[in-house]
Structures are given as C-alpha cells and as structure tokens.
Structure 1
Amino acid sequence: MTASEQAALDRRFMAAALRLSRKNAGRTATNPSVGTLIVRDDGNG
C-alpha cells in the first residue's frame, strides 16, 4: 500500500470513528463522546 493509499484509509477510519462519537453526543456528561474502531491488518486487503 502506498503512503497516499494509507493516508486515505486513515481518513476513512477517522471519519467512521467521528460518526460513532456523534451518536452519543450530549450523553456523556462532562466527558467527551468517543468513537472507537478496532482495525486489523491481516494482509488480506
């Protein structure tokens, strides 16, 4: 994977995490709403 392709994939995963965090916005009191993705590079693309 090229650096450019990796950067695009990183942006895609970050956007997904941000979407997840917005689902609970306002429900976590004084703590920030956080979205987490677990990504595995198993070599199968």
Structure 2
Amino acid sequence: MYRALKDAGKNVQKIELSGEDHYLSHGPTRLQALKATIDFVNKNI
C-alpha cells in the first residue's frame, strides 16, 4: 500500500515498528504509532 500511494504522488509516511504485532500490543510502539497518526492528521487536515 505504501508503494502504491507513493507512486500515485500521495503524501504518505511509513513507520516500521520492530517486534510489534497488528494489535500494537507493546506500549512504546503503540505510542509511537499514535503519535505518528496525530502528526499526520495535524499536518494534512
């Protein structure tokens, strides 16, 4: 999905969360993902 959006010229950022699962089970990486989401929304809306 990242590559398709990037190729389409969309503003997209990819973050990799080492050792994390799809449920964001680990607090530090969950916080990292949420901060990235908030930053993206604030920048693009």
TM-score (norm: length of structure 2): 0.42
Higher RCO, 1 or 2 (CA under 8 Å, sep at least 6)?
1
Give the TM-score of the pair, scaled to structure 1: 0.42
| Larger Rg over CA atoms | 1
